[in-house]
Amino acid sequence: MSLFQNLDDWSFDVFALDEVAQGSPLKCIGYYLLNRHGLIRKFKIPPQILENFLTKIEEGYCHHKNPYHNNLHATDVAQTMHYILYKTGFMNWLTELEIFAAFIAAIIHDYDHTGTTNNFHVMAGSDTALLYNDRAVLENHHVSATFRILKEDELNIIHNLSKEDYREFRSLVIDMVLATDMSYHFQQLKNMKNLLSLSEPVVDKSKAVSLVLHCCDISHPSKKWNLHHRRGKKTDFKMFEKQDLVQCAEVFKKSNLTPQEVIANGIRFHLPMYGAPKKITGLNKF
């Protein structure tokens, strides 16, 4: 099979890609997407440096042996970003720098995720929570750790950006990754809904792409059942091994729902998210 067969489908099979890519799906999809959209050429990224960078990021997703926020999840989010930008025409509304930032943000948005929640870090008083003063602890870590990687010459894929482009790229990636913090979910949705209800809305591009990344991040329940079920099943059993997710077990217990039912309810929870990007682009591809 072709490595990227069905890449333009909503329910792209990341498990199949993982098999073909022999455990490096993120490196493969990252390279493919940046190349396909002309970003390697545009931003003069040396192929070896890009390969080094993607390898380093993929390793960071794997070393905590995280059952959900791992390289497969990042691959899934990067592919969904491609789907939304490409299939809806959203891409035509963005500059190449914004598209580049959107793909990199999708690729790195959970880099070095510890497998525990922000709340766990705060309650445990972890070094990361202390460093970021209990605010968006993990999201700050993902983006900060990435920019520290980009300081290494052999990993620096943004070396050839002008100073102005670097500032804009950095600001966009920070905004997008910080907005993946679930505690902003309802506020983010409300802000965008209010904006789009105006007769002549002026949409802030950074906020719009941030919302798109958030949609991609929580899109899994809307994928084909066989993919979501496989992912959910794998995650649920492992989830309960994590101390902080005892809270999750409490929620299930109180609601009398099975983990699978909670996931199914998640689909209903996520649906309103897709209305906003649809309105921004004016296209009906969601």
Residues at the annotated binding site? 73, 109-110, 217
* Cα–Cα distance, 139 to 177 (Å, whole number): 6
φ, ψ of residue 152 to 5 degrees: the values are: -85, 125
- Give the binding range for Zn ion (CB under 5 A) out of 52-60, 109-117, 164-172, 248-256: 109-117
CB 28, min distance to Zn ion, A = 19
Draw the binding track, 197-226, toward Zn ion (x: CB under 5 A; -: no contact).
Answer: --------------------x---------
Tokens 């042996």 label which residue? 65
**C-beta atoms surrounding 35 within 10 Å:** 14
Alpha helices (H) along 125-257 = 127-131, 137-149, 163-178, 185-196, 205-217, 225-239, 246-255
**Does 112 contact Zn ion by CB under 5 A?**
no
CB 200, min distance to Zn ion, A = 34
Residue 14 has which token pair?
């990341």
CB 84, min distance to Zn ion, A = 15
Nearer to Zn ion, 40 or 57 (CB): 57
Residue 198 has which token pair?
């105006």
Nearer to Zn ion, 114 or 156 (CB): 114
Residue 200 has which token pair?
């002549």
* Cα–Cα distance, 63 to 268 (Å, whole number): 33
Which residues are part of a known binding site for Zn(2+)?
A: 73, 109-110, 217
φ, ψ of residue 206 to 5 degrees: the values are: -60, -40
Is residue 51 within 8 A of residue 31, CB to CB? The reply is yes
- Give the binding range for Zn ion (CB under 5 A) out of 1-9, 26-34, 103-111, 114-122: 103-111
Size of the site for Zn ion (CB under 5 A): 2
**Does 110 contact Zn ion by CB under 5 A?**
yes
Residue 257 has which token pair?
């729902």
**Dihedral (Cα; 184, 188, 190, 191), 10-degree rounding:** 130
CB 174, min distance to Zn ion, A = 16
Nearer to Zn ion, 52 or 219 (CB): 219
Q: Which of 37, 69, 214, 228 is catalytic?
A: 69
Nearer to Zn ion, 52 or 79 (CB): 79
Residue 165: partners with Cβ closer than 8 Å, 6 or more residues away: 97
Work out the burial of residue 25: count CB atoms within 10 Å of its CB; fewer than 13 is exposed, 13-18 middle, 19 or more buried: buried
Draw the binding track, 256-275, toward Zn ion (x: CB under 5 A; -: no contact).
Answer: --------------------
> Known catalytic residue: 69?
yes
**Does 76 contact Zn ion by CB under 5 A?**
no
Nearer to Zn ion, 161 or 273 (CB): 273
CB 201, min distance to Zn ion, A = 28
For residue 93, the 8-state DSSP code is G
Which residues lie near Zn ion (CB under 5 A)? Answer: 110, 217
The residues annotated with a catalytic role in the active site are 69
